């Protein structure tokens, strides 16, 4: 056995790992993004399934860590994010050229001018989205009551790297092989069939009234939504899908998922503006199946479908 970035794999699996095509990486900074937690999450994921379904995509760190040949259905209720993925899929080169132009214009004034603009052209909308995400404060996404993006300028001296061209090409290729949707999660989870793997990373239930950011969309995500999510997931699991859900360790989540496996995941909360509230905290990954019996990566004969 060899140890590979935090989890164990057999030698034969390591060999296959090297042969895999390079993966795309997320193009956005996204609140609640899972990049840092992948080494803890992947060992719980099944190694064989028919289709990957992710109803709350965000920046897609889990989706992009999946083998590019695996069929996938991805979704996010945020319409701007959805349109960005369509442009990344269909017009990657034009998007990069516009971002080059924005990078040359980088200044606080340009940030606020672009923030106030309402482009209609999908490529301009996508470039605006990436520029505001990379140069705004902390990669936050926040809308005011009128639905306008209102995150302040990030105050970096120089323009950060807005994109990596090789990565954008990989992202585009990956997206071409996926179905991309912009719907409510329930409709997407209903599409899960026996043998599919559904990974849900919803806005988290707050640990306290002030501790959490969970409004990526105008409506927010209430306890009622967490209930609705559990019901949809339980039905999918009943149809024979593998379903995994990330969430905070708030009492309502532990209660809702008490009939599932609950795995503790050590996280570091970085979205809080107060540095003393950014320490380590536990969140959970709940799974509809008992991984020890069947599907733990290093015990299963299949090739790992996810990796770092
Ligand atoms: C925690 S983020 C997902 C982060 C993602 N796993 C990543 O690594 O970047 C939650 C996402 O759920 C989306 N969302 C919120 N309400 C939704 C709904 N009712 N249906 C589908 N997506 C929703 C938000 O737009 C947001 O992108």
CATH number for the domain harbouring residue 148: 1.10.1020.10
Determine, yes or no, domain membership for 233.
yes
DSSP string, 284-304: EEEESS-TTTTT-GGGSSSPP
Determine, yes or no, domain membership for 285.
yes
φ/ψ (deg, to 5) at 202: -75, 170
Q: Which of 76, 81, 222, 229 to mutate to test the pocket of ligand 1 (most atoms within 8 A of CB)?
A: 76
Q: Pick from 82, 80, 53, 63: which is nearest to 181 by CA?
A: 82
Return the structure tokens found at 299. 């015990």
**Model confidence, pTM:** 0.87
Nearest CA to ligand 1 atom 23: 77
Distance 148 CA to ligand 1 centre (A): 18
Q: Which of 77, 147, 229 to mutate to test the pocket of ligand 1 (most atoms within 8 A of CB)?
A: 77
Determine, yes or no, domain membership for 197.
yes
For strand 178-181 and strand 72-75, is the pairing parallel, antiparallel, or unpaired?
parallel
Share of the chain above pLDDT 70, in %: 81
- In angstroms, rounded to a whole number, what is the distance separating the alpha carbons of residues 142 and 218? 9
List, for residues 121-152, the tens digit of each pLDDT value.
999 999 999 999 999 999 999 999 899 999 99
Share of the chain above pLDDT 90, in %: 71
Determine, yes or no, domain membership for 308.
no
CB 167 within 8 A of CB 25: yes
List, for residues 235-275, the tens digit of each pLDDT value.
999 999 999 999 999 999 999 999 999 999 999 765 555 65
- In angstroms, rounded to a whole number, what is the distance separating the alpha carbons of residues 124 and 131? 10
φ/ψ (deg, to 5) at 68: -60, -20
Q: Pick from 38, 23, 133, 143: which is nearest to 84 by CA?
A: 133
Which residues constitute the domain of residue 26?
2-77+183-299
Answer yes or no: do 66 and 201 share one domain.
yes
Determine, yes or no, domain membership for 307.
no
Distance 185 CA to ligand 1 centre (A): 9
- In angstroms, rounded to a whole number, what is the distance separating the alpha carbons of residues 166 and 104? 20
Answer yes or no: do 292 and 201 share one domain.
yes
Determine which of 10-19, 30-39, 65-74 has the lowest per-residue pLDDT on average: 10-19
CB 275 within 8 A of CB 246: no
Distance 70 CA to ligand 1 centre (A): 21
Token match 């992009």: residue?
64
Q: Which of 38, 60, 171, 202 to mutate to test the pocket of ligand 1 (most atoms within 8 A of CB)?
A: 202
List, for residues 222-240, the tens digit of each pLDDT value.
999 999 999 999 999 999 9
In the chain, how many domains are there? 2
Answer yes or no: do 192 and 65 share one domain.
yes
Residues 6+ apart with CB under 8 A from 21: 67, 68, 69
Q: Which atom of ligand 1 is nearest to the CA of 34?
A: 8
- What does the H/E/C string look like for 162-222? CCCHHHHHHHHHHHHCEEEECCCHHHHHCCCCCCCEEEECCCCCCCCCCCCCCCCCCCCCC
Answer yes or no: do 22 and 141 share one domain.
no
List, for residues 190-204, the tens digit of each pLDDT value.
999 999 999 999 999
Determine, yes or no, domain membership for 175.
no
Answer yes or no: do 143 and 112 share one domain.
yes
- In this structure, what DSSP letter does residue 103 have? H
Answer yes or no: do 246 and 140 share one domain.
no
Protein residues with CB under 6 Å of any ligand 1 atom: 30, 32-34, 55-56, 58-62, 76-78, 184-185, 201-203, 216-217, 221
């Amino acid at each position: 056995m060899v140890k590979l970035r935090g989890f164990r794999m057999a030698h034969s699996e390591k060999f296959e790992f090297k042969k895999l095509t390079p993966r795309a990486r997320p193009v956005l900074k996204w609140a609640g993004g899972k990049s840092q937690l992948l080494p803890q999450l992947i060992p719980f994921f099944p190694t064989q399934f028919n289709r990957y379904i992710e109803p709350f995509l965000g920046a897609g760190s889990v989706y992009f860590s999946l083998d590019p040949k695996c069929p996938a259905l991805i979704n996010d209720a945020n319409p701007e994010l959805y349109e960005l993925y369509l442009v990344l899929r269909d017009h990657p080169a034009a998007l990069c050229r516009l971002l080059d132009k924005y990078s040359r214009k980088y200044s606080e004034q340009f940030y606020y001018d672009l923030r106030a603009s309402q482009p209609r052209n999908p490529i301009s909308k996508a470039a605006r989205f990436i520029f505001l995400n990379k140069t705004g404060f902390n990669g936050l996404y926040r809308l005011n009551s009128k639905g306008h993006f209102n995150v302040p300028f990030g105050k970096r001296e120089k323009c950060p790297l807005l994109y990596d061209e090789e990565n954008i090409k990989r992202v585009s290729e990956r997206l071409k092989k996926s179905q991309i949707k912009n719907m409510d999660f329930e409709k997407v989870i209903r599409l899960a069939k026996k043998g599919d793997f559904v990974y849900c990373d919803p806005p988290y239930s707050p640990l306290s009234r002030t501790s959490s950011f969970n409004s990526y969309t105008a409506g927010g995500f209430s306890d009622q939504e967490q209930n609705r999510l559990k019901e949809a997931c339980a039905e999918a699991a009943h149809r024979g899908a593998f379903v995994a859900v990330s969430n905070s360790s708030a009492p309502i989540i532990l209660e809702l998922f008490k009939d599932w496996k609950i795995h503790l995941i050590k996280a570091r909360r970085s979205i809080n503006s107060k540095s003393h509230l950014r320490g380590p905290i536990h969140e959970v990954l709940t799974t509809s199946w008992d991984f020890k019996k069947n599907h733990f990566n290093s015990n299963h004969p299949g090739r790992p479908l996810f990796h770092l």
